[in-house]
Chain A
């Protein structure tokens, strides 16, 4: 046990002081926070946005000016409007040709054509040189429809109070359970992104830790330190020590990120982390890490070069990315059949469970059974990995085949 501790401490120390570890640990949150601050500043300062010029050919003579005035008034960046409209009622071919030319020359970003019988056809056309104005078109559509409905209602000579009542819209406010203050937009955004943040942390810690472990094994194998190591400690001690060192590294890194995450959440008034969450995060982290560490350690013991090993792990690495691809599904339908099935596959279990926990969709039964499944999976994977490691680690210059590996495991 003492040797496992010495090896673990050594592995932890040599890696924690490497500049790449320091850069990845402290650099990543700094980069993410800086990017979000910069993008927030850019969005707020109006850098990068410019006034959009649109034409409106309105045969009805009713809507064009009102929609334009509404949009020019509603969307402003400071004192400056985001939109400038050129509204005309002449929809003749010749005038349309003039607007076409204005768009071609770039004086206009596009133009809307409102036909005289729009109340019947309910179709407005938009012409532009390039696509990508969908946000502006949808804003135009929203304001135009509101005016259209108001105008239609007016035609029935209804009382203005009734019109106001009919036109009234309700808004949905979000509250955190037990709190009386409604959530702001950024708070809602944080709550939505939190599961992804937890997933990302788990992925980084588990997967990167296991990768680093594999690299360490390959390095010791290729520079022949491993036999010296095996003369002072047995296989199990060497394996366990290395796994322990990397786990310490991953846990320290994840705890640091959790603190950063809690701090950022706290700044925006969102409570993302509680003690139960931290305990379960660490439990899934450790079990997930041990599973991947066993797999990567066994693979690392088979190869002399990192390049060859990376090729071998590429398939399994693709599987590790599956939870990253399905995170929106987990947030929106955490108890769908697909999510529930994937949750019980050990390779995915920690990732899916951490997301479910973040959206409060994991039952105590699910937590219990998944932890049990992971314990069993880790035990058997470690046993298999141990057999491969013991047999392969001192076989130099020999290409090991899959049937050979299967034979070692069976023996």
Chain B
């Protein structure tokens, strides 16, 4: 378990992280969200002890002393690899730094290279790989030592759907083994599919934290999603009157109480021909946008 207690970090005149607290439970995937420049990277660097907080503390499984590097698998946002070194040699180097013996590391590396379909290229220099394959090597580098804490900043970027699936499977395995996983991304669909808990920060301050389902229940508005038969009707005055928004050839109309739905549907049916009308839940992306805008 990882606990952040009111951690604060200031750079010169910028308060990058302002009294941020949250708890990451083992065996659950924690989505750490926020717009660009919100303070996510600084927070993660403080968890990794790359930066020291000005105040507050990070508690690792009940201990304020950071465990050895072997306990962590860290995929930073600003990441890269030595370009002129063959993949396997590079992975062994990092494994050695995390305390694994070469023989022991070699077996695990071979297994993951096989899994990511990179076995045939283990002697290829990193710089000769595609961006996606380099991304796979970076991910393998995070997990070869079977860490207790996985901290991944945008792990899916640059991966094709097949490799995204392999990565998701591996993350699920780590989750099933009770590992503590923090996952930072801007791809809200990934968060909805994978995360159990989330925290959203903006301008260094915590906006919301909790179980994904609770956050969606609390902040997600319900809407009436209408698809008119004719595209031209998307701009019909009735939708404007109901404060509807056009999104992806649909109209999203917000409502306060479910009792109003019947009347709204009747009005629409009397005025426009529709293909379908359904009650939908606002996605995490909409919640994210409204919370960030609201915080401003």
Query: CB within 8 Å of B: which residues of A?
Result: 3, 6-7, 10, 14, 220, 223-225, 227-228, 230-234, 394, 396, 404
Residues of A with C-beta under 8 A to B97: 3, 6-7, 232-233
Name the residue in A14, A225, A232 with the highest tally of chain B Cβ atoms < 10 Å from its Cβ: A232
Q: How far is the CA of A7 from the CA of B97 in the complex (A)?
A: 8
Contact indicator A394/B45 (Cβ below 8 Å): yes
Chain B residues with Cβ under 8 A from A233's Cβ?
69, 97
Asked if A14 and B78 sit within 8 Å, CB to CB, the answer is no
List the A side residues contacting B50 at CB < 8 Å: 227, 230-231, 394
Question: A224 and B72: CB pair below 8 A?
Answer: no
The answer, yes or no, to whether B76 is at the interface (CB within 8 Å) is yes
B residues contacting A by CB (< 8 A) are 12, 45, 48-51, 69, 72, 74, 76, 78-85, 93-94, 96-98, 138, 141
Interface centre among B51, B96, B98 (most CB of A within 10 A): B96
Instruction: Please determine whether B79 and A227 come into contact, CB atoms closer than 8 angstroms.
Output: yes
| B80 near A232: Cβ-Cβ < 8 Å | no
Let me know if A227 and B76 touch, CB within 8 A. Answer: yes
Q: Sorted from nearest, which 3 A-B pairs have the closest CB atoms?
A: A224-B80, A231-B74, A223-B80
Pair B94/A232 contact, Cβ less than 8 Å: yes
Query: Would you call A228 and B98 a contact (CB within 8 A)?
Result: no
Query: Do B141 and A228 touch (CB < 8 A)?
Result: yes
CA distance A396 to B77 in the complex (A): 12
Given contacts A3-B97, A7-B97, A233-B69, contact A228 B80 (CB under 8 A): yes
Q: Are B93 and A225 in contact (CB under 8 A)?
A: no
Closest Cβ of chain A to B37, distance in Å, is 12
**B50 and chain A: residue at smallest CB distance:** A230
Q: Name the B residues within 8 Å of A224 (CB-CB).
A: 76, 78-80
- With contacts A220-B80, A232-B97 known, what are 7 further pairs, Cβ within 8 A? A14-B82, A224-B80, A227-B50, A228-B79, A228-B80, A230-B50, A394-B50
Q: Which residues of B contact A227 (CB under 8 A)?
A: 50, 76, 78-79
Q: Known contacts being A14-B82, A224-B80, is A231 close to B93, with CB within 8 Å? A: no
Contact A6 B45 (CB under 8 A): no
Inter-chain contact A6/B78, CB cutoff 8 Å = no
Q: Determine the chain A residues whose CB is within 8 A of the CB of B80 once the complex forms.
A: 220, 223-225, 228
Residue of A nearest to B79 (CB): A224
Q: How far is the CB of A260 from chain B (nearest CB, A)?
A: 29
Measured in the bound complex, the distance between the Cα atoms of B72 and A10 in whole Å is 21
Q: How far is the CA of A63 from the CA of B98 in the complex (A)?
A: 88
How far apart are the CA atoms of A360 and B48 in the complex, in Å? 54
Q: A228–B74 Cα gap in the complex (Å)? A: 7
- Bound-state CA distance A230–B76 (Å) is 10
Cβ–Cβ contact A231 & B84, under 8 A: no
Q: Which residues of chain A come closer than 8 Å to B12, judged between CB atoms? A: 404
In the bound assembly, the distance between CA atoms of A223 and B97 in angstroms comes to 20
Q: How far is the CA of A404 from the CA of B12 in the complex (A)?
A: 9
Q: Is A396 within 8 A of B96, CB to CB? A: no
Chain A's closest residue to B127 (CB) is: A223
11 interchain pairs, CB-CB under 8 A: A6-B93, A14-B84, A227-B50, A227-B76, A228-B80, A228-B94, A230-B48, A231-B50, A231-B69, A232-B69, A232-B98
Which single member of A6, A223, A225, A231 contacts B72 (CB below 8 Å)? A231
Partner of B81 from A7, A10, A225 at Cβ < 8 Å: A225
Taking CB atoms, residues of chain B closer than 8 Å to A225 are: 80-82
Cα of A128 to Cα of B4 in the assembled complex, Å? 90
Smallest Cβ-Cβ distance to A393: which chain B residue: B50
B residues near A7, Cβ cutoff 8 Å: 97
CB < 8 Å neighbour of A396 from B78, B82, B94 = B78
Distance from A170 Cβ to chain B, minimum over Cβ atoms (Å): 64
- The complex places the Cα of A394 from the Cα of B78 at a distance, in Å, of 9
Distance between Cα atoms of A147 and B48 in the complex (Å): 89
Contact A228 B81 (CB under 8 A): yes
Report B-chain residues with C-beta under 8 Å of the C-beta of A231.
Answer: 48, 50, 69, 72, 74, 76
Q: Are A223's CB and B45's CB within 8 A? A: no
A220 to B74, CA, bound (A): 17
Nearest-neighbor residue (CB-CB) of A241 within chain B: B97
- What A residues does B94 contact at CB under 8 A? 228, 232
Most chain A beta-carbon neighbours within 10 Å: one of B12, B45, B50 = B50
Interfacial chain A residues near B48, Cβ < 8 Å: 230-231
- Closest chain-B Cβ to A366's Cβ sits at a distance in Å of 43
Are A6 and B96 touching (Cβ within 8 A)? yes
Closest to A404 in B: B12
In the bound assembly, the distance between CA atoms of A231 and B80 in angstroms comes to 13
Q: Which residue of A lies closest to B69 (CB)?
A: A232
Question: Are A10's CB and B74's CB within 8 A?
Answer: no
Partner of B76 from A3, A10, A14, A228 at Cβ < 8 Å: A228
Q: How far is the CB of A138 from chain B (nearest CB, A)?
A: 57
Question: Which chain A residue shows the least CB distance to B95?
Answer: A232
Q: In whole angstroms, what is the CA distance A241 to B84 when docked?
A: 19
B132 to chain A, nearest CB (A): 17
Nearest CB in chain A: distance from B156 CB, A: 18
Question: CA of A395 to CA of B183 in the docked complex: distance in angstroms?
Answer: 23
CB distance from A301 to the nearest CB of B (A): 14
CB distance from B63 to the nearest CB of A (A): 18
